[in-house]
A and B are shown apart, each in its own frame.
Chain A
């Protein structure tokens, strides 16, 4: 009798298993029973959390990829190089889950390729689709060395790495441009909803606001991922990098908020700030989570000095960011549409499954690929192939000579 060795069941594995089970059942409902059974979407509320959270937040929280790549390669901030790959992987997985999410969100997902051949350049969404498609490819190319390093044939490996290194700067530059465009254009989607959106969230500068909110949220996401890697994957985190990040986030949030209030003032919407209606509550919840709480937390020495403090402060930023984007995409329309939209459980199950899939993929990437430099890895990752080159993370052999 042979004994089959099953993976050990831990609490988090059980949780992940449950999430996937629920997600699969929700997927069955979406594709076999249709939108009517699987969602609370309606003619009044055609976009729910699959757009508001899975897309808008997914893309925004992946902004750390272009920010760190730009900082290291274009601004020469070498001190962030140790976490560069992690940032790129987080962004890549984030975008993959956003793109995958469109299988559930689109009514006719098998027509996903239509925007590639059927153009309408007046559409903001057209630009967003193109930018996201190209940028996901760019991220795949930026991330590819981590996979190619595992190829056992030296010739192939080195040829690819050499070629990749030649176009790397161009990739990073294109990545920063494309990201700047589509991060803003996600906000641009809402500019045409004039008259339908509650004044606290309508803005002619929604593009700028979305760009300014995505960067601190994306950086917070990196802090979160680094902390969790340290907790469960034996990665040593460099406190100096985390500390640096925590110094950047607060001023960015302040600039965002100042711009936001100046914009509200310009649109004569300040009168709505204290009206006794539900929207006011949602607005201040957003302000509390996205601005007030992080500003306090990031300035407390007890919080700043410990990774777990920074972790919770970043988690607050992310929660606030998600609240902001849900408010823009869902709360703001309620008064006009009377849709009374609350997501149905399959909508949430699919969204949570997409996030979980990205987290699991990140875990495997850290375990089996060289995502963090050797100096940050406390113990060598299991199943590591023998190192065949004098490869020193993270520079490429061809440049290591210099």
Chain B
């Protein structure tokens, strides 16, 4: 299966919140509209001026959340979705902080809380289906498809209509995502964060972790060497002390006399 993705065209969105409702339905959450992302609202439509902006997990190509998870509960699947395995999670919440888009939510009110975020309807997608939000959108503002096709489609729209900002948000942010946005208003004005880099964030941790073998090898040998040196010095000192005590003439002394 080719890698799947979603394309969200802000110029087309009419703010009907059908995507929100469809998402709540497939996840069996209470139907009330929530203004911001929560453990029971994995996507919301936020109003920015006269524009409507969907918030949801970006499903990064090389996700920071999955790289920091010490138990590997979060995974980037080959099909595109970044999924969460509640059985593995032990609740450290590192993913929430590592996510550059601050998307993952926590079930703070529960006694056995889990992380909640959009999973791009991984089960439906695996069964050959379409995400609930894309299916529900009456105007085609959110469409679902193969990642490559959607990128080509987005480029085509930008090429054909000069009203679009010449940028596909999500194409290269922190190494690229699987959710793309098109807009006719600059993204920073719509509250999109400026990604800290175009290379994946896990590269940063990897460079620190890459030092482990060096530290162990070099540090280990160095410490062992120091220990040997210390031991030897103490031995020599002890030997010299006994010699002095017993007044044993040393080789050199003999030679001189």
A interface residue numbers (CB < 8 A to B) = 31-32, 34-36, 41-44, 46-47, 70, 73-76, 105-109, 111-112, 114-115, 118-127, 129, 169, 173, 176-177, 180-181, 184-185, 188-189, 191-196, 204, 207, 333, 337, 402
A65 CB, min distance to chain B CBs, angstroms: 15
Choose from B90, B93, B201, B226 the contact partner of A74 (Cβ within 8 Å).
B226
B interface residue numbers (CB < 8 A to A) = 37-38, 64, 67-73, 88-94, 96-98, 100, 102, 104-106, 108-114, 193-197, 201-202, 204-206, 208-209, 211-212, 215-216, 219-220, 223-224, 226-227, 230-231, 233-234, 238
A-B contact pairs, 16 of them (CB 8 A): A34-B110, A43-B38, A106-B90, A106-B91, A107-B91, A107-B93, A108-B113, A118-B73, A120-B69, A122-B202, A129-B70, A189-B94, A192-B205, A195-B100, A207-B208, A207-B211
Choose from A43, A47, A337 the contact partner of B105 (Cβ within 8 Å).
A43
Residue pair B230, A44 in contact (C-beta under 8 Å) = no
A236 CB, min distance to chain B CBs, angstroms: 27
Choose from B89, B194, B234 the contact partner of A108 (Cβ within 8 Å).
B89
Nearest-neighbor residue (CB-CB) of B110 within chain A: A34
Residue pair A76, B71 in contact (C-beta under 8 Å) = no
B232 CB, min distance to chain A CBs, angstroms: 10
A193 to B197, CA, bound (A): 12
Residue pair B230, A111 in contact (C-beta under 8 Å) = no
A108 to B114, CA, bound (A): 8
Residues of A within 8 A of B105 (CB): 43
Residue pair B209, A188 in contact (C-beta under 8 Å) = yes
Residue pair A41, B108 in contact (C-beta under 8 Å) = yes
Residue pair A191, B208 in contact (C-beta under 8 Å) = yes
B65 CB, min distance to chain A CBs, angstroms: 10
Residues of B within 8 A of A180 (CB): 215, 219
Residue pair B212, A122 in contact (C-beta under 8 Å) = no
* Contact A46-B93, Cβ < 8 Å, known A120-B72, A122-B67, A122-B206: yes
Residue pair B91, A185 in contact (C-beta under 8 Å) = no
Residues of B within 8 A of A47 (CB): 93, 97
Residues of A within 8 A of B102 (CB): 43-44, 196, 337
Nearest-neighbor residue (CB-CB) of A202 within chain B: B196
A45 CB, min distance to chain B CBs, angstroms: 9
Nearest-neighbor residue (CB-CB) of A42 within chain B: B108
Nearest-neighbor residue (CB-CB) of B224 within chain A: A173
Residue pair A192, B204 in contact (C-beta under 8 Å) = yes
Residue pair B208, A185 in contact (C-beta under 8 Å) = yes
Choose from A76, A129, A194 the contact partner of B201 (Cβ within 8 Å).
A194
A84 CB, min distance to chain B CBs, angstroms: 15
Residue pair A74, B227 in contact (C-beta under 8 Å) = yes
Residues of A within 8 A of B193 (CB): 195
Residues of A within 8 A of B219 (CB): 176-177, 180
Residues of A within 8 A of B111 (CB): 31-32, 34
Residues of B within 8 A of A185 (CB): 208
A400 CB, min distance to chain B CBs, angstroms: 14
Residue pair A124, B205 in contact (C-beta under 8 Å) = yes
Residues of B within 8 A of A188 (CB): 205, 208-209
A194 to B99, CA, bound (A): 10
Residues of B within 8 A of A105 (CB): 92
Residue pair A108, B94 in contact (C-beta under 8 Å) = no
A401 CB, min distance to chain B CBs, angstroms: 12
A204 to B205, CA, bound (A): 10
* Contact A109-B71, Cβ < 8 Å, known A124-B209, A192-B98: no
Choose from B38, B69, B109, B230 the contact partner of A123 (Cβ within 8 Å).
B69
Residue of A107, A180, A204, A207 ringed by the most chain B CB atoms within 10 A? A107
Residues of A within 8 A of B208 (CB): 124, 184-185, 188, 191, 207
A140 to B230, CA, bound (A): 25
